[in-house]
Amino acid sequence: MRLDILYFLGYDIDEELPWHSTISRTRQLFPEEVFERVFAHVFGMCVGQGMAKGSTQAIDSAPVKANASMDSLELKVPERELEAHLADIRHISKRDKGAYRRAKENKARKLNYSGQLSVDTAHHVISDVGSYHADGKDSQYLRDIVDCLSQRLWQSGLQLENVLADTGFSSGENYAYLERKGIKSYIPPHGTYKGGPDGFTYIKEQDHYIFPRGEVIPFKKVFNDYRMGTKKKEYRISSKICRECPLASSCLGKSAKEKKFSVTYYRDEYERNIARLKTGKGKRMKAKRQATVEPVLGTLTQFMGLGKINTIGIRQANKVMHLSAMAYNLKKYLKFMEKRVKNGAGAATSIQTVKNTLVDCMGLKINLFFLTIKTVLK
């Protein structure tokens, strides 16, 4: 039994502790908004002590095992054409409809949630956390994450300037979205990205490509690639020019009559992001991301109760993730305050201030606070 935790909560040694059923029932009865408000309040406490600067945020994700068995799988049939469906078959759990099967290379298939985490790079305080469906790509969730994160930082008097993330969050749409919000992205592009065909030269002013022999391949149209769900630009040269070209057989193949290819609509955004990554600051940002968010994710999944979600449903999973993040931030807060306090009396005063603040937070009782630190008791 942790006597220091009992003292922190205000319990005597012989005083009866809340039953586990009371804690779990409270977690089910309170809506998500309550947990998000308490998390925001704890984050605000950290901001008040200068533990978060807000300007640079590192974002990453981790699969969190759901409370469902692979034996409970059933086929999920999306409302679209059969051909497209067969190209992307997915499975969900009959027990937990929010749990999806997620597969990564060289890893076993499991039913997971996707835990998305944002960490402030100043003192590694968690600034945002959320539960998402594991069948989606990280890049699909970035805009929602940044919207929530920007709002929370703004409410704390901070402004988001730089976003650090890994390749999974890369997409032209995300680069363009961050630029519109005045945020610099430090997100490596996918290895499949190319600014155009090999050997072709792009002329930005006229928006066309130059063939190695000197022919111009002009821009023709913008279209949506339904297979990838992305916006692209098509470039195409006249079939007459191709017929007269001595390289036609090797360039066009057997059936094509004219040279055409597509390039991402967001080529300029990709190139600006790549240029930032190649600078000295870009290299430092990559090292900062690896040293910031990845250790926090490891702590949450290995020591703070996020190795597996024992509740059912994505809303309940979101509550559990907020509880773990609150417990993490509170421990960071107490350690930070201890460094500032010069004597034991001051330390006790600081701990009492934390307790009183959280007990009074939004009129909630000590039971909800007990939820936020229950992971610490493990």
pLDDT by residue (tens digit) across 335-367?
Answer: 888 777 655 545 555 555 555 555 444 344 344
Between residues 93 and 327, the one the model is more confident about: 327
Q: Over the stretch 21-74, which tens digit does the pLDDT of each residue have?
A: 766 677 778 888 888 998 999 999 999 989 999 999 999 998 888 876 666 666
Cα–Cα distance measured from residue 11 to residue 7, given in angstroms and rounded to the nearest whole number? 6
Q: Of all residues in the chain, what percent are helix, strand and coil, respectively (each to 5)?
A: 45, 20, 35
Cα–Cα distance measured from residue 184 to residue 238, given in angstroms and rounded to the nearest whole number? 40
Rg, Å, the chain Cα set = 26
Cα–Cα distance measured from residue 328 to residue 322, given in angstroms and rounded to the nearest whole number? 10
Determine the average pLDDT of the residues in 180-203: 87
Query: Please, what is the Cα angle at 130 between 127 and 131, to 5 degrees?
Result: 160
Half-sphere exposure of 295 (CA within 13 A, CB side): 11
Report pLDDT for 167.
92
DSSP state at residue 53: -
Mean pLDDT of the residues in the chain: 79
State how far Cα 237 lies from the chain centre. Answer: 41
The contacts of residue 273 (CB under 8 Å, 6+ apart) are 175, 185, 186, 187, 189
Cα–Cα distance measured from residue 54 to residue 155, given in angstroms and rounded to the nearest whole number? 11
The contacts of residue 206 (CB under 8 Å, 6+ apart) are none
With tokens 């195409």, the residue in question is 236
Report pLDDT for 111.
82
**Domain locations along the chain:** 201-265
- The count of other CB atoms within 10 Å of the CB of residue 123 is 17
Cα–Cα distance measured from residue 274 to residue 181, given in angstroms and rounded to the nearest whole number? 18
Token pair for 45: 């406490």
pLDDT above 70: percentage of residues in the chain: 74
Confidence band, pLDDT 50/70/90 cuts, at residue 148:
very high
Between residues 372 and 323, the one the model is more confident about: 323
Dihedrals φ, ψ of 209, to 5°? Answer: -110, 150
Pick from 103, 71, 81: which is nearest to 90 by CA? 103
pTM: 0.76
Report pLDDT for 214.
81
